[in-house]
A = this chain, B = another copy of it.
Amino acid sequence: MPSQPRPPAQPVSHRGRRAGHSGTREALLDAARDQFADHGYDGASLRAIASQAQVDPGLIRHFFGSKQDLFNAAMEDRALITDRLMAAIAGPQDGIGARAVDAYLRLWEDEDTSPILMSMVRSAMTTDHGADLINEVIVARLAPHTEIGIDSEPARQITLAGAHLLGVAVSRSILKAPPLVEMSHEELVEALAPMVQETADRVIEALSGRDSGV
C-alpha cells in the first residue's frame, strides 16, 4: 500500500528504541538496514527482517507496504551522506581533498551510515534500487548548478572522483583486497587526497568562470 499515509520522515537515531508503535517501526528499519546491507535487495528476505526485529512479518506491510517501500524508508537517512560530505568540503579550498576523503572513509566506518552505503551498493549490483540512490547521492549536489549538464567537464570530474572513491571503499570493505585492508584510515587519506584535491581545484576553476560559486 504505497499510497497509505506514513508518519512524517524524522531524523532517525537508531539502535535502542524498541518500545511501542514507533519502536516497532524503528526496529523494522534497523533490521532492514542490516539485512539489505548484508545481502543486498534481492538477497534480503522480509521474513528475516521481521525475525530480526522480533515482530510479525505482516507488520512490514502494515508499516511500509511493499519491499521496495521498506527499502526506500530504510534509506531515508541517506541525506546524512551528502550532508557530511558537503560539510567536509566547506572551508578553505586547500585541504578539500584530505577533508573529503577523511569524511568519505568515515561514512563507510560509521554505524549510522555504513549500513546505508552497504545496502545501496549491494542492492545496486543486481537491481536498479540502490543504483538510482547512489547516482542521486553522487550527482544530487550538482542540481543547484543546473547549468552543469551531465556531459560537462565538472560533472565528469565529480563523477570520476566519486567512482574512484567508491572503487576503493568497495575493494576495502566488501572485496577485502589485502593491501587496502592493511592500510590505515590515515594512509588511505594520504594516498587519495591528491586525486580529490585535483578534482576539486578543476571543478572550482571551471565553475568560477560561470555565474555561481561552489
Residues of A within 8 A of B (CB): 38-40, 42-43, 121-122, 124-126, 131, 134-135, 138-139, 150-151, 155-156, 158-160, 162-168, 170-172, 174-180, 182-183, 191-192, 195
Overall SS of chain A's interface = helix
B residues near A165, Cβ cutoff 8 Å = 167
CB pairs A–B below 8 angstroms (24 shown): A38-B126, A40-B126, A42-B43, A43-B43, A125-B174, A131-B175, A135-B175, A138-B177, A139-B177, A150-B179, A151-B182, A156-B191, A159-B171, A159-B178, A159-B179, A160-B168, A160-B191, A160-B192, A162-B171, A163-B164, A163-B170, A164-B164, A164-B168, A170-B170
B residues near A155, Cβ cutoff 8 Å = 179
Please state the number of chain copies in the assembly: 2
The CA-CA distance from A203 to B138 in the complex, in Å, is: 31
B residues near A158, Cβ cutoff 8 Å = 179
B residues near A159, Cβ cutoff 8 Å = 171, 177-180
B residues near A151, Cβ cutoff 8 Å = 179, 182-183
Contact across chains for B156 and A163 when beta carbons are under 8 A apart: no
Contact across chains for B175 and A134 when beta carbons are under 8 A apart: yes
Contact across chains for B40 and A125 when beta carbons are under 8 A apart: yes
Contact across chains for A167 and B163 when beta carbons are under 8 A apart: yes
* A182 vs chain B, min Cβ distance (A): 5
* A181 vs chain B, min Cβ distance (A): 8
Contact across chains for A126 and B39 when beta carbons are under 8 A apart: yes
Contact across chains for A39 and B40 when beta carbons are under 8 A apart: no
Contact across chains for A131 and B174 when beta carbons are under 8 A apart: yes
The CA-CA distance from A160 to B192 in the complex, in Å, is: 9
Q: Contacts A167-B166, A170-B166, A183-B156 hold; do A176 and B131 have CB atoms under 8 A apart?
A: yes
The CA-CA distance from A60 to B124 in the complex, in Å, is: 29
Contact of A156 among B124, B162, B174, B179 (CB under 8 A): B179
B residues near A150, Cβ cutoff 8 Å = 178-179, 182
